[in-house]
Structure 1
């Protein structure tokens, strides 16, 4: 796959091209936009490198918040770091009172820089006479649609953090322009993103990429399916309680809607179903292979990273020679307990077969694919996370704080002696999200209909659960809307663990204030002879101070320099 360069690298390339000319055609220290969008560049080489730079604005979620996964700021994990961590400050009262969000999560400037780059591209690409064609038109129109998709994606990342934000349209402001822009309403931002996704669908590549010469080389590019999925995701957020009737500031249009509207759920369901009905995407048979198999039919859109073993070296269990792991991510007991038994029944169900003295036996296979626990197979070894065990020796060495290590995203290293490179791309949108998004939205709009059951069953069937009575895969028959809601929320938790889903889900569902005011727990296992004793322990006290924390504060300097920039409530 292509090694995409950021915009600086693109400009360096252009300088190099200019330097190859016999005579200097322009001052090489002042590369103008006309050299990037060159009316004589029939291949569009420079323009395409500029587009790659816009793609590079997207974040790689692997250990991105000061070395931690964002999920370590949810109830699913904690950081194993011994000192203060960036991810922990997301829930710090002192930090929030001083308008501080961790640098790696304070992305206002990052995404507006990306929006500006996208606008530069949209405004200038038309002059480039690209000869290559797609669907009978110059390929530059595909590129233009990609830039608009990325711009819409950046706006989505902004509104889920801040609520309504200033919409720039196609404008590229200069130093002489009035930049004191007000925030647009949340609804206005949602409508803009949706309209952009609708407008560009017909211009983007379609999956599978059969026309481009090298489909895998172009697999990172935004497609029609990606645009449809982004639209569905935005509508799902807009329909969720935080914005749809649970507005933290009543009728404040910047922070959501004044009242709930079930029609928003219906719109989200329809958008998810549109993606499903394309017939182009599907659940991959093996859940764990989704994250290490490039160009598979479950991936709708991803941030290209390449091949490496950095996930293992950062998060793998300690205690191995020649296979270094730092155990950076410690999954919580709450997450482990969320996985049902392999018959689909929750471990709290008396009929599930759960054994407190053998707690990891006969569980949902996704537990093994997401979490490394005591006795799990890894690197040709039976993992020891009991007190004093190989991977939990205690002392000063960084190691698990909860008795668990993260397994998600790693290669198939259960029976090997060392780590090797594999795909480490960061998946942003995948088909399973459309299926569960449809189940959630349809349930809220119409109740636990057969269509909702079927969507949930397809996820559980792929996971490897037993069909059981009535082929319901452990689901209770005849659930109420409320029962199905709880079931879907739990299914999202275990299906999308560590994918930056749980952190945002508990906010859009407006349940973070309850969950994050409970201590996060782990397991302390003591070995006595050949017997193991399991004891749950509190590992981190957390606090969700007030409803204002559902939205980030607008960066302090933005409010200070712009009198029209209204701050979020409570800040």
Structure 2
């Protein structure tokens, strides 16, 4: 009996993707059989390779992903410049229910899991020729790639929902029992970790060539393992379970060994010496062959980030000014001398607040007076980029600049690569530093070294950290380094949750600047409130399981509070 590709996937019981219709043209995709896709006579694996590539379509994206906004606008690093009831506004203010979570990714990732399971179960039919230089046959390489994607999709589910149903290699049909219970948080972590361990030596190695930059490598598998173990060791799950005895939302008790395990996973990648920090922070996001990149979803050459987020007053380019960074994020960037703006000797001047700041500030934020497209940005009241009126514009006097090229002297934007970087080496260093610091009684030289590597690349002078910091002082420093280094990369929203401090950090008033141009040409600066965040603890630490899944699956247990 022929097995047809139009089998329906578990979460939505909807037909699989239509996107690869462009690749398999002889017969409509809904009529393609597995025998055609995984052809036992196709030594090149042409159709199977197209199928594998379509499995990548469910990878997370970053830029203006959530209803047109960065996810960080649902945290405390930005707000949407759109004044309507945006998705990120609902996330930031807790204005959502189990029926309408604004970042519901359940169906997307389970569709990806189903596709990878089909591939894993059938690729061995294809008599692929060829192998990597290390001797690994391509059948095994492609299967390992698919298992990496599946592990990443499970992690994306885990960080949102806690423990989720684990399907193994099964490909379910309508005739199967789909009342599958959730796996425990621990089981999901161990599944992802074990998959990474199994596949890492079957993947390509870094540095990867330009023809395969979109494919996962051994470094990607280790980086994913390190990230999931860091989450597992974090307070929300490790001793801080929001509901005692709930196996889906964390562990029953604290275990310091989880921190050590996370540190060891990150150290494994560090010790391989196959990656390094890019000398240029900005170049990481522009150069597809950057030595810092580990794994990214390709985004194409375009002007999408610039058009979506650029200051609005430039007639030479499309600018929608969608993202308004908050004063809280701006204040997190210290000074070029490595001190925070409130620290004695920092040199911070409230009357000239954007001078001599951490160089990452200038690569992340467009501020009043920043050089851009041949003139200074004007976000003072009545300025070209904050004119008032009904046009969408910054609500904080800042625009997001990250992921853009250097347009300080250009007349207009140009097409550049806008990949969605999902793993990079700086995060691995920060993961290691955090995990090791939490495991030890006080930070050691390895913790200092990892953080100082990042501060040195940032251009801080001096980049060194004062000796003798306590565990708590180093924790605060590492958390702030994560905030400024990884801004707008979809870490802050989940970092604050896994640290279990969201009821404080996401229950506060956010601010921007009111900037007035004085007759002398100088400016005055005044903080102004722009949004009151609301976080309902403990329920908002986890996203609600989609209501449709709870209704149709009698074994599906909803998250606490939903």
Q: TM-score, normalised by structure 1?
A: 0.93
Q: Give the equivalent residue in structure 2 for 1:72.
A: 73
State whether residues 18 and 29 of structure 2, in contact with CA within 8 Å, keep that contact through their aligned partners in structure 1.
no
Q: Deviations over 1:129-161 (max 9, x none)?
A: 111222334312111000000000000000000
Q: Give the equivalent residue in structure 1 for 2:6.
A: none
5+ residue gaps in structure 2? 1-15
State whether residues 435 and 456 of structure 1, in contact with CA within 8 Å, keep that contact through their aligned partners in structure 2.
yes
What secondary structure does 2:414 align onto? Answer: coil
Distance 1:60 1:198 in 2: 25
State whether residues 343 and 474 of structure 1, in contact with CA within 8 Å, keep that contact through their aligned partners in structure 2.
no
Give the direction of change, closer, same or farther, for the CA distance of 1:545–1:137 in structure 2 (3 Å limit): closer
Q: Give the equivalent residue in structure 2 for 1:106.
A: 104
Distance 2:266 2:487 in 1: 21
Distance 2:152 2:29 in 1: 33
Q: Deviations over 1:277-330 (max 9, x none)?
A: 111100000101100111211011000111111100000001111112111000
Equivalent of 2:551 in 539, 545, 560? 560
Q: Give the equivalent residue in structure 1 for 2:127.
A: 129
Equivalent of 2:449 in 423, 432, 454? 454
Matches for 1:293-442 after TM superposition, within 5 Å: 293-442=287-436
State whether residues 179 and 554 of structure 2, in contact with CA within 8 Å, keep that contact through their aligned partners in structure 1.
yes
Q: Deviations over 1:230-268 (max 9, x none)?
A: 000000000011111111011211100111111000000
- 1:523 lines up with 2:513 in the alignment: yes
- 1:534 lines up with 2:525 in the alignment: yes
Equivalent of 1:264 in 258, 262, 271? 258
Distance 2:539 2:149 in 1: 29
Distance 2:73 2:94 in 1: 17
Q: Give the equivalent residue in structure 2 for 1:3.
A: none
Matches for 1:18-417 after TM superposition, within 5 Å: 30-96=31-97, 98-102=98-102, 105-134=103-132, 135-209=134-208, 215-417=209-411
What secondary structure does 2:423 align onto? Answer: strand
Q: Give 1:14 shift.
A: 2.6
Q: Give 1:94 shift.
A: 4.4
Q: Give the equivalent residue in structure 1 for 2:20.
A: 10
State whether residues 37 and 127 of structure 1, in contact with CA within 8 Å, keep that contact through their aligned partners in structure 2.
yes
What secondary structure does 2:525 align onto? Answer: strand
Give the direction of change, closer, same or farther, for the CA distance of 1:390–1:28 in structure 2 (3 Å limit): closer
Q: Deviations over 1:25-61 (max 9, x none)?
A: xx98621111100001110000000000001111221
Q: Deviations over 1:395-436 (max 9, x none)?
A: 111110001000100011111010001110000000000001
State whether residues 124 and 139 of structure 2, in contact with CA within 8 Å, keep that contact through their aligned partners in structure 1.
yes
State whether residues 190 and 234 of structure 1, in contact with CA within 8 Å, keep that contact through their aligned partners in structure 2.
yes
Q: Give the equivalent residue in structure 1 for 2:5.
A: none
Distance 1:358 1:137 in 2: 58
Q: Give 1:7 shift.
A: 5.3
Distance 2:43 2:394 in 1: 55
Q: Give the equivalent residue in structure 1 for 2:503.
A: 513
Q: Deviations over 1:475-527 (max 9, x none)?
A: 23211000100000000000001000111100111111101111110000011
- 1:494 lines up with 2:484 in the alignment: yes
Give the direction of change, closer, same or farther, for the CA distance of 1:92–1:561 in structure 2 (3 Å limit): farther
State whether residues 10 and 46 of structure 1, in contact with CA within 8 Å, keep that contact through their aligned partners in structure 2.
no
5+ residue gaps in structure 1? 1-5, 19-26, 210-214, 468-472
State whether residues 93 and 532 of structure 2, in contact with CA within 8 Å, keep that contact through their aligned partners in structure 1.
no
Q: Give 1:204 shift.
A: 0.5
What secondary structure does 2:141 align onto? Answer: helix
State whether residues 401 and 522 of structure 1, in contact with CA within 8 Å, keep that contact through their aligned partners in structure 2.
yes
State whether residues 306 and 404 of structure 2, in contact with CA within 8 Å, keep that contact through their aligned partners in structure 1.
yes
Give the direction of change, closer, same or farther, for the CA distance of 1:92–1:534 in structure 2 (3 Å limit): closer
Q: Deviations over 1:428-484 (max 9, x none)?
A: 0000000011110010011211111111111000000002xxxxx252321100010
Give the direction of change, closer, same or farther, for the CA distance of 1:346–1:29 in structure 2 (3 Å limit): closer
Distance 2:351 2:321 in 1: 25
Distance 2:188 2:379 in 1: 47
Distance 1:91 1:386 in 2: 26
Distance 1:137 1:46 in 2: 21
Distance 1:412 1:28 in 2: 43
Structure 1 segments of 4+ aligned residues over 4 angstroms from their partners:
none
State whether residues 232 and 268 of structure 1, in contact with CA within 8 Å, keep that contact through their aligned partners in structure 2.
yes
Count of residues in Structure 1 that have an aligned counterpart in Structure 2: 544
Q: Give 1:91 shift.
A: 3.5
State whether residues 20 and 29 of structure 2, in contact with CA within 8 Å, keep that contact through their aligned partners in structure 1.
no
Q: Give 1:95 shift.
A: 1.7
State whether residues 7 and 52 of structure 1, in contact with CA within 8 Å, keep that contact through their aligned partners in structure 2.
no
Distance 1:28 1:354 in 2: 61
Q: Deviations over 1:505-558 (max 9, x none)?
A: 001111111011111100000111112110000001110022110001111011
Kindly report the root-mean-square deviation, in angstroms, between the aligned alpha carbons of the 2 structures: 1.3
Q: Give the equivalent residue in structure 1 for 2:7.
A: none
State whether residues 20 and 54 of structure 2, in contact with CA within 8 Å, keep that contact through their aligned partners in structure 1.
yes
State whether residues 243 and 255 of structure 1, in contact with CA within 8 Å, keep that contact through their aligned partners in structure 2.
yes
